[in-house]
Structure 1
Amino acid sequence: MQITLCRVDASGATQADITLAEGARVEDAIRAAGLAPETLPEGTGIALWGRRAMLETALRAGDRVELCAPLLVDPKEARRQRALRQGDVRQVTCGRHGSRRKLAD
């Protein structure tokens, strides 16, 4: 059966078409791509068509296995830091009516 293995990391995205025997698992696909599951960075996400998968998950023909690098920063924390850097935006944005109406302090 034919599957696609996609890998996203700091260097970019790669895609490889792999042929496996029927009944293959995600772990088999990773090994066939020349990677060892135990050497993947801690926190690497494994997904089938964008849905979380485990190494033991069985594959079907045409599946897309995705290996995603772990997040470097918590998205909620990144948003909080951006908001702090921007400061108070009420003085910058006057709303849709220009400056005729004052925003509440």
Structure 2
Amino acid sequence: MEEDIDKLSNQWIHDPGSNTHLINSEDWSGWTREYDAVATDFVGARTGRVQITAWGSMELMANTPTGVQSLKLTHIAYVKGFITSLIGLARCRKLGIHFDLGQDLLY
């Protein structure tokens, strides 16, 4: 179980229900911290809420129909030590980015 948690801590998960991108460590390559969160900045997690530490952006490499391309994610919540990092697919849809689970591609 602990090994599974360690494995998740350095991966991204596509979350179809999330409207927020979330990063769990500031050690990610390409991460830029832009400003500190305020006391009222939270994300929902299970049945509770988790305090956001900061907001930022990053370049992320993704599989697309035309090959690996760089995506710029903005307004990413940094939550130190969260179990994994999330790409909020609900947020992506607003930008015209869609995920194909069958082919593991972003359009």
Please identify which structure carries the higher helix content.
1
Higher Rg of the two aligned structures:
1
TM-score, length basis structure 1: 0.27
Please identify which structure carries the higher strand content.
2
TM-score, length basis structure 2: 0.27
For CA contacts below 8 A with separation 6 or more, give which structure has more relative contact order.
2
